[in-house]
Structure formats: structure tokens, C-alpha cells
Structure 1
Amino acid sequence: MKLRLLAGMSVLLMTAGLSACSSSSDTSDGASAGGKTTIDVWLMRDSVSAQFQNEFVKGFETAHPDIRVKVQIQEWDGIGEKVTAALASNDAPDVIETGNTQVAQFAQSGGLLDLSDKVDELGGQNWLTGLAEPGAYEGKQYGIPYYAANRVVVYRTDLFKEAGVDAATVKTRDQWLAATRKLNTGGTQGIYLPGQMWFALAGFVWDEGGDLATESGGEWKGTLDTPEAIRGMNFYKQLQTLGKGPRDSDEAEPPQAEVMAKGQVAQIISTPGGANTVIENNPELKGKLAFFPIPGKTAEKPGAVFTGGSDLVIPTVSGKHDAAYTFIKELTGDTWQKKLAVAMSYVPNKTTLADAVAGDPGASAMAVGAAVGRATPNTPGWAAVEAKNPIKDYMTAVLTGSNAQQEATTASDAITTAMNSGS
């Protein structure tokens, strides 16, 4: 899912919107003069800046003079229905950018081109798991990883210094808890963590070896009631109680960046873009915010994170598969991935390209987590879970004193029902 963010997640990017047109002129039938092939490409609003888009299109058309590119910008609201309708028509675009967790929904219809035979050529052995796994469906690769983003810890350097905490030493969960307790003094909240940030919970559950749901024999079952998942919830509770975050809402209600901007919060869990929002609301904090990866259980391995971002797919009904694939190969290749990462502060689609963002503190912190990042259960039925989201109710119940095992069983049953009815 696009990390704008995650669960109504706060907007990931603070960048300029995309221009709705490319350097190519429009044609009515997709064919250009001189025997050139024109491909229609749907990219999502705010995925890249207009400057990067124009640079890529110009470079691509120079390298491939037989192909012209026509970019159309799509809005995230209602995109699922629009893509589904396009795939069922005879007038679909040739390349579509889709949220990584949406690929299964579109692949289920049979409307996407199977690109499994291209994985090796595209360097798939080094793809981020959180993009590659949801880009596959029933053993076939339909989505090609495009870019990634995930949450990190955004912290106040001045408050850490005053408390005698060196962020560089916060590598494990236990160290994180100890540091947060030291920060949680006087009028300062050691951390602002709302009770329903379920994407953060998912990472803690994965760290413990648990999952949100598992599949067996074609049936999905919610698994928040396993010992591993319960341990993940217990850690969330320990961390959440070290601040004054509401127990019955998520990071959007109230917007956590605005809460941090008031000056009494030492840490939040957010994408790096959240720091920009903090500064916009309180310019006095400029130069006082920094980042570190969400800690794991041991110093050797960072905490698991939900990987948001996008994949690129090719509709089956496109009559220009070769040209569409050439476009995807270029945009997801090492040269343009490095440029994209630098331009947009994204995590590149391969673990081997992490050095591209070494000079960007926020993106480099994301890259550490992305290397062990994951996505939600890879099935069209997961959309039914997010529609009502029993995970949020479960978290609030536990944080307000209800029995964790009983509430986890109730939530797991709700997930099971939703996934199997939704698929």
C-alpha cells in the first residue's frame, strides 16, 4: 500500500506534485509518426516530482528512440476501482504504478501480465522483500518493485542530549525502552505513540516470529492470538505507556507530527517526511530532529517494519508488452533507481543499492529497516480486514486493561472471517 501513509497513514512525501503530461505529444491511437510506439503510463500523484519525471522520460526516449511515453497522473482515492475497470476493458494503459499491497487484488482478476520469466534479468534476487512478495500472487510475479518507504524513529536531538541519551547506542528494544524512560521526565513525553498504530504493532509481531494471518489449504486464519503475536503486543504496550498517546486512535487523530511540534515529545514513529511536518508547525525545531531505525530484539538485526511503496505492472490487454517492459526495466534498473532515491529520498528497490541514500539521514535510516521489511498478508482478502480493522479495536482493548489473550482471539476470529469472505 502506498505509504501516504499506512492506515490512513500520514502523507509520506512533502514533494511537488507530478505534471500531468510528459514530453511526448498525445496521439489518439497510441501510435506515433515514423513507426514509433507510444505507451500510456499511469503514475500516482506525488510518487515523483515533475522534475524527475521529465528527466526520466527525456532520458528514456533518447535511449529508446522507437518508443514515446505519455504519462497520466492518477489520484490514490478511488484508484482500485479505476484500475479494476481498466484491466477489464480494451483500453487499459500499458504500464500502471500500483501500491505494493494492491497487486494481488489486480492479479486475481487475471488482468496482469505474468513477468516471472523477467525476475532474474531484473535482479530480483536483490529486491526488497516488502516489495517483491506482495508483487507476486499464487507463485507468479506480476508486480516489479519500484520504490519503498517505511517508518523510522524521528527524535529530538536536544532532548536526547539533555537526558544524556546517545541515539547511536539505541540498537535493541531493551535499550530503546531504557532510553525512553530516561527521556520521560518532567514535562517531556519519552515517546508519543497512539494506541492504534497497527503497522508498528505488525513489526513487533514479526520480530517475535508471529504474523497477522497465515494461509493453509487456501484458507486464511487470523493469528494475533499466537504466543509470538501476544509478545509483540506486550512490547507495544510497554512502549506506549511511556508517553501520553491516546489509546483509542491512530497517528492521524490527532496528527502526531503536530503533537510533536508542540515541543514536549522526544520521539515519534513516522516516515522521515513527518519531520518536515513537525518543522512546518514549529520552525524553532529546525536542526533539532534526526532519525534512527526502529530497534530490533538484538543489535545485530534492526526491527521489522511494514514496507510501503509501489510496484509497476503491465495489463494483459496492452498491445505493447515489449515496449512496456522496456520502460519498467529502465525505471527499475540500477541507474535510475539511484537517481530516484536521491531525488525523492526513497529507498531503492534493491538491498544492493542502499548506499545511494547514504547521504540522506532519513532515507538511510529507512533503508536499514527496509532490508528486513515486510508487507501485509499477500491476498486480495486483506482489503476486507483493513475496511473494518479489528486490529485497532484489539489494541485499544489491551491498552485499556482487557485480557490480551481473549481480545486477541476475538480479533483473530474477525480477521479470519473478513479474509475468507473478502477473497
Structure 2
Amino acid sequence: MRRRRLLALLCVSASLLSGCGLLPGGSERHTVTVWLMKDSASQEFLERFTKDFEHEHPDLRLDIRIQEWTGIGDKVQKVLAGGRPGDEEGNHPDAPDVIEVGNTQVPQYVEGGRLLDLTLESARDWGGKDWLPGLAEPGQLRYHQYGIPWYAANRVVIYRKDLFARAGVTAPPRTRAQWLDVTERLDGDGTQGIYLAGQDWYTLAGFIWDEGGELATEEGGRWSGALDSPAALRGMDFYRRLHALGEGPADADEEHPPQAGVFASGKAAQIVAVPGLARAILDSNPELKGKLGFFPVPGHAAGKPGAVFTGGSDLVVPRSTDRREDAIAVVAALTGARWDTDLARTMNYVPNKAKLASAVAGEEGVAAMAAGAAQGRATPSTPEWAAVEADNPIKAYMTKVLTGSDPATEARRASERITEALTVDAG
């Protein structure tokens, strides 16, 4: 009797992470293997979710495996093709039933029909029409939904409240015109109005979208670069004007040098970055505590923030899974309003629907991010876009324009290179 009682206690204490495999009465629990990325969710969140999910689904056991971002693309492609992830680094040899992937990675995984089509569930049960476009659109292929939006993050403007006050600016700008005016007032006396690296192409993409332009367009199944459209050129011109109000290098991106360090040095009034970068800024310069503020990237009109690139994650289900309905149940729970808002509050993310933004309204930086996410977009939804980023002609184009070359000429050349990359890699 004592041995049986001890076994029962051990089973209860271990059930959260490994389960005992049996339900009362002897029936077997079925395991659903879930791959989530490192730092996407805290351990406390995963414990809360696992406990609740297994309570609601007593016939299931969650086996959550944390993956590293480095090398994840090849690893996911292998399991989608029917291979095994292997035992390297202690990973479980069984293939996953649910996988977290970067939102812009979904198109490359859709190829070959290797993901489960979740269009019916998203339209019927999950309110897919309300998802943030920047998460939902990359998860689609020909109007079929394969990637289910989980959480988002996007750029906002991080600014120095004390420098704004010193310049007589009493409120953050709400339009592009106001933004340029305020930034010009802030620029001088040893302070940059804004630190904007010359090759921050994600920020440029937002300006292009806000003008009605695109990075690339599709016609008849073929993609072409579109930086030379009048709308895209207007976006680049705004970037040029904003960049001129600071000392950001024309030939480097926001990581060279890291813009958090530049901002922490006290020589810039604004940067465009995700709100989470504020932690790195304060780590470098604790004296800035209480002096940082956030506002959405302004758009043309005061009531509508500018377009921004939306990063984040979608959840996908491999078509090869033998636990289809169970995997769908996990996706439904994680992306549903209850747990999606819990994750957003826990990790300072944007929920997957604009109408859930009130869940993060109490955090200034995240609230600004959520306001911008409603206008969020993602890179072109084609598997070949990865080839464009591998040798990114947009960065070279930006440097050329910022150093005096003709924008129309350079945009045409960059667009031709984008078209070549998309066409060659498309086969």
C-alpha cells in the first residue's frame, strides 16, 4: 500500500512535464509533441498552460520541446519531409505535431503540401478575419490558411521625454509631417533628432507600404521587384528626409553599431525599434530610467498610425502528424483569446487580434506597439523571398540613395535584382 501511494504521488508531481501515461481506469494518454522556440514563452506560462490544457483534455499529454532559432529552418524542413529531428542535443526523436515558426517563414514550409490546411477551422471557429494582417497573410497560400497567428512584435519610436520637453515638445507627433517637424527641432546642440541607420530596410518597408507601394508584386504566379513604383519612391524619399536629421551611417544597418548603444550614449532623441530594446538601453545607461517614452510610428493621418513590419510567430501543424485533431486542439487553445492575451501580458507581446489589444494597454511600450500592429504587414508571401534577404539589394539601394545617387535609377536596379532572385530560386 505504501509503495502504491508513493507511486501515485510521484505521478502527480511529474505529470506537468512528463505525465504518467495512464488515466484513472487504465486508459492511455496520447502525447502531443509541441516545438516552441526559446524565449517565446516563459516557463511559468508553459506550466500554467500545460496544467490547464491537460485538465481540459484528460486523454492528452503535452510534450513541449524548446528549440533554438539557430538552424531551426533546416530542422523543420527535415521533419516536414518525413525525417526525424534526431537525438542531437538531447532532442526527442519523435517528430512534432505542432511547430512554432516565424511568421515570414511559413511560405517556405508550405511548399510540397507538407503543412495541414487549417482554413476551415480558422474561418469557422477561430475568427480568422480579425487576425493581424502581418501574422495572417504570410500564413496563407492561395487563400488557404496554414500558419495560425500566435503573437506579434513590431517597431515603435522610442524617445527621450526629457529632450522632447527641453525642445518644447509637449506630446509625441501623430502624423508624418509633425514627426519631421519635431525631429528637426530636436536635431542640434550635440543631439541627433533621430538615430536612423541607412540600411534599416524593415523601417523603410513600412514607409513604402504607407504610401501604397510594395517591395515586390505578383502577377500570374510570378513575382517582380517593385521598389521603382512612384509610391515606393515616395516611401524612400521620406526615409531620406528623416535620416538626414541624425547621424546614422548610410552604409550600415541598425545593428552596426547596435542602435541601443548609440541611444544609451545620450546623443540621440529617438530611434525606431521594438519596445523591448529599452531594457538594453537602460542596462547600458541606468540614468535614463524614467526618461524613455514610446509612440507608434506616425502615419499620414493623426488617427491612423503608419504601416510597420510585423514580426512574430505562427503555429503550424505538419500534414504527416498522426494526431491531427489533438494538434488542432493545442493550436486552438494557444491562439485563443484566453491564452493569447495571457502570453501577451506575460511576455510584452501584441495579441494576435487588434481587438485584444486592451490586454496590454497598461504597458506604454506594448500599447504603442499594439496600435502600430493594426497597420502591420509582412514581407512578400513567397518561399523565394529568403533568397532576396540572403544578399539584400534593398540595403545597397538605400545606401546609394542616401549618398546622392538618383533614386529612380537605383530603385530600378534594385527591383531587377529582386526579380532575378525570385525568378531564379522559383525554378
Alignment of 1:162 onto 2:155: no
TM-score normalized with structure 1 length: 0.92
How far the C-alpha of 1:90 sits from its partner, in A, is 5.5
Higher mean displacement: 387-396 or 120-129:
120-129
1:372 is aligned to 375
Output aligned runs, 1:182-331, within 5 Å: 182-331=185-334
Indicate conservation of the 8 Å contact 1:180/1:242, yes or no.
Answer: yes
1:418 Cα deviation from its structure 2 partner? 0.5
Work out whether residues 193 and 240 of structure 1, in 8 Å CA contact, stay in contact via their aligned partners in 2.
yes
CA distance in 1, matches of 2:135, 2:164: 34
Partners of 2:38 and 2:175 in 1: how far apart? 37
For residues 80 and 231 of structure 2, the distance between their equivalents in structure 1, rounded to whole angstroms, comes to 40
- Mapped to 1, the partners of 2:382 and 2:349 lie a distance apart of 25
CA-to-partner distance for each residue in 1:183-237, whole Å, 9 max, x for gaps? Answer: 1120111100000000000000001110000000111000000110000000000
Please give the alpha-carbon distance, in whole angstroms, between the structure 2 residues aligned to 1:324 and 1:359. 33
Gaps of 5+ in 1: 1-20
Q: Which residue does the alignment assign to 1:177? A: 180
| 1:132 alignment partner, one of 124, 133, 136 | 136
Write out the 4+ residue segments of structure 1 that deviate beyond 3 Å after TM superposition: 30-33
Q: Separation in 2 of the partners of 1:197 and 1:70? A: 39
What is the identity, as a one-letter code, of the residue corresponding to 2:29? Answer: K
Question: How far apart, in 1, do the equivalents of 2:182 and 2:370 lie?
Answer: 23
CA distance in 1, matches of 2:143, 2:353: 20
Q: Deviations over 1:87-130 (max 9, x none)?
A: 11155310000000111100112110000111121111110000
Q: Aligned residue pairs: how many?
A: 400
The CA distance in 2 between the partners of 1:271 and 1:239, in whole Å, is 18
Q: Is the 8 A contact 2:19 2:61 kept in 1?
A: no
Task: Give the Cα separation in 1 of the matches to 2:408 and 2:208.
Answer: 14
Q: Give the alignment partner of residue 149 of structure 1, picking from 141, 150, 153.
A: 153
Structure 2 distance, partners of 1:394, 1:229, is 12
CA distance in 2, matches of 1:35, 1:77: 36
Alignment correspondent of 2:353: 350
State the alpha-carbon separation in 2 of the partners of residues 391 and 181 from structure 1.
Answer: 26
Match of 1:332 among 335, 338, 346: 335
Whether 1:51 and 2:44 are equivalent positions in the alignment is yes
Note if 1:101 corresponds to 2:94: no
Rg comparison, structure with higher value: 2
- Give secondary structure in 2 for the equivalent of 1:146: strand
> What TM-score, normalized by structure 2, do the two folds share?
0.91
RMSD: 1.5
Residue 57 of structure 2 corresponds to: 64
Inter-partner Cα distance in structure 2 for 1:272 and 1:382: 27
> Percent identity over the alignment?
57
What does the per-residue CA deviation read over 1:357-377, in whole Å, with 9 as the maximum and x for residues that have no partner?
110111110111100100000
Inter-partner Cα distance in structure 2 for 1:377 and 1:138: 13
Shift of 1:413: 0.2
